[in-house]
Amino acid sequence: MLIVKKFGGTSVGNKERILNVAKRCIEDYEKGNDVVVVLSAMGKMTDDLIKMAKDINPNPSKREMDMLLTTGEQTSVALMAMAMNALGVPAVSLNAFQVAMHTTHAYSNARIKRIDTDRVNNELEQRKIVIITGFQGVDRNENYTTLGRGGSDTTAVALAAALNADSCEIYTDVDGVYTADPRKVENAKKLKEITYDEMLEMATLGAGVLHNRSVELAKKHGVQLVVRSSLTKEEGTVVKERVARGKSEISGVAGDDDAARIAILGLEDTPGVAFKVFNVLAKKNVNIDIILQSVGEPGKKDISFTVKQEDAELAVNTLRDYMSEDDYRDIDVTTNVAKVSIVGRGLKDHAGMAARMFEALYEAGVNIRMISTSEIRVTVIVEEKDMVKAMNAAHDAFEL
Ligand code: ASP
Ligand code: MG
């Protein structure tokens, strides 16, 4: 069997943890398997590197930023190879350049295009454990790129697909995917299985367990994932195309307090207004989440939408710059809002799921500011102070 194992930053945060990971990989190796290991930077090293950069230059070039951040993962893989060697096992570390992990040119947010497998296969044939840097790639001009925060998961899945691996295991500091964040919802339970689509919604909603692009890629290539803890031997959660689900139509509840709501009041009620607003925002790369348009005073309309908190200022400044003062009456920004979502395949086949959520929130005394739905998700915007209460109410209502 060829096994790809990915370990996150906390799993390789210090010497003991590195040795623990080395031993777990060696167990598989000694059973005769080929083992490829993908690592993140140790502990908070990526955050620390970002701080160092900003301290020297508040506005560092994106190229140099990626050049700097790739050193985090390079540190982990080299130390891991040394650890395995110390335990008497042949191992070799490779960075994105040495593997040849080809990505697009978009610094800090590159996408993997193609991975050369010759070097890796060659090393595996020599019965070495191959340890590869996560999160990084190389563009057409041989510049280092990175895949976005949390991107090592995506490296692991892309490698599993390229190498045709038999299994892809993502090790983190939690023991699987839960019905909700256990720190916020006490009754949260670990899921045995979850579909790619549900996981993708959960990851995008900020569940934080997997990089959302890694789930997209796993679905595309049919790579079955196992999410489990590096610190215990518990079984973890399997992410795959289809799952057998018991009584619940909902698989989880997500909460995300990194949201800001922007309302543009008193816009002209004529064609092209929404286009104008969202076109200027798109040009500035502001990612829009939930959009609501409503009727305002006679002949007027209001448009509200949510963005990540860090984008709120840019969004408002952009709108003020590009629209003239008689285009609207006022722009209002609220940062103390949060998103609460329920996710599940059952939503598309069962009527009344959204109503059940709204009833639970009503009973908990939570006011809903905005609503948005997809085939397998219902999201509401609530006040930030109500987020945890709303998550618990929804979780209880669906008896998760
Ligand atoms: N080290 C990178 C980060 O902190 C990538 C990863 O951990 O997946 O975002
Ligand atoms: Mg991660």
pLDDT (0 to 100) of residue 400: 84
Atom of ligand 1 nearest to the CA of 148: 9
Asked if 116 contacts 158 with a C-beta cutoff of 8 angstroms, the reply is no
Contact criterion met (CB below 8 Å) for 45 and 39: no
294 in Cβ contact with 345 (< 8 Å): no
Alpha-carbon distances, residue 239 vs 30, 180, 200, 227, 332 (angstroms): 26, 16, 10, 8, 41
Please list, in sequence order, all residues whose beta carbon lies within 8 angstroms of the beta carbon of residue 20, skipping any fewer than 6 positions away.
230, 231
How far is it, in rounded angstroms, from Cα 158 to Cα 219?
Answer: 11
For ligand 1, atom 4, which residue shows the shortest CA distance?
46
- How many Å lie between the centroid of ligand 2 and the Cα of residue 173? 9
256/272 Cα distance (integer angstroms):
31
Residue 351's pLDDT is what?
Answer: 80
What is the distance, to the nearest Å, from the Cα of residue 255 to the centroid of all Cα atoms in its chain?
14
Q: Which atom of ligand 1 is nearest to the CA of 152?
A: 8
What is the DSSP secondary structure assignment for residue 261, as one 8-state letter?
E
Identify the CA nearest to 132 among candidates 39, 57, 218: 39
Taking the CA of 42 as reference, the closest ligand is 1
Which residue's CA is the closest to the ligand 1 atom numbered 8? 150
The 10s digit of each residue's pLDDT in 251-309 is 999 999 999 999 999 999 999 999 999 999 999 889 899 999 999 889 999 999 999 99
CA of 341 to the centre of ligand 1 (A): 25
367: β partners: none
- 2-250: CATH topology is Carbamate kinase (3.40.1160)
Q: How much is the pLDDT for 146?
A: 98
Q: What is the pLDDT of residue 226?
A: 97
Q: Which atom of ligand 1 is nearest to the CA of 155?
A: 8
DSSP 190: B
The residue to mutate among 135, 145, 171, 211, having the most atoms of ligand 1 within 8 angstroms of its beta carbon, is 135
Report pLDDT for 325. 85
- β-partners of residue 294 are 302
Residue 216 alpha carbon to ligand 1 centre in Å: 18
Count CB atoms within 10 A of the CB of residue 297. 11
CA of 113 to the centre of ligand 1 (A): 19
Give the N- to C-terminal CA distance of the chain in Å, as an integer: 36
Give one word for 43, left, alpha or beta, with left for phi > 0 and alpha for psi -120 to 50.
left
Burial class (CB in 10 A: 0-12, 13-18, 19+), 137: buried
Task: Give one DSSP letter per residue of 191-242, joined into a string.
Answer: -SEEEHHHHHHHHHTT--SS-HHHHHHHHHHT--EEEEESSS----EEEES-
CB 274 within 8 A of CB 345: no
195 within 8 A of 242, measured Cβ to Cβ: yes
d(CA 100, ligand 1 centre) in Å: 19
For residue 170, report the distance from its CA to the centre of ligand 2, in Å.
9
With b meaning 16 or more CB within 10 Å and e meaning fewer, what string describes 221-233? eebbbbbbbbbee
Q: With CA atoms as reference, report the closest residue to 133 among 155, 111, 103.
A: 155
Distance, CA of 10 to CA of 47 (rounded, Å)? 13
- Which CA distances in Å does 381 have to 258, 268, 300, 301, 351? 11, 25, 24, 20, 21
Residue 85 region, left (φ>0) first, then alpha (ψ -120 to 50), else beta? Answer: alpha
User: Tell me, what's the pLDDT at 34?
Assistant: 98
Q: What is the pLDDT of residue 82?
A: 98
The number of C-alpha atoms within 13 Å of 170 and in the hemisphere containing its C-beta is: 30
Name every protein residue with a CB atom under 6 angstroms from any ligand 1 atom.
Answer: 8-9, 40-41, 46, 72, 134-135, 149-152
Q: Mutate which of 152, 170, 214 to test ligand 1's pocket (most atoms within 8 Å of Cβ)?
A: 152
Instruction: Retrieve residue 340's tokens.
Output: 């609460």
- Residue of 151, 388, 348, 359 whose CA lies nearest to 254: 388
Torsion sign across C-alpha atoms 208, 211, 213, 219: negative
Residue closest to 243 by CA, chosen among 198, 208, 206: 198
What residues in the chain have per-residue pLDDT under 70? 206-208, 245-248
The domain segmentation of the chain, as residue ranges, is: 2-250
Per-residue pLDDT, 246: 64
Cβ neighbours of residue 43 closer than 8 Å, sequence gap 6 or more: 9, 10, 12, 13, 14
Ligand 1, atom nearest to 153 Cα: 8
Tell me the residue length of the chain.
400
- The ligand placed nearest to the CA atom of residue 71 is 1
Q: Which atom of ligand 1 is nearest to the CA of 150?
A: 8
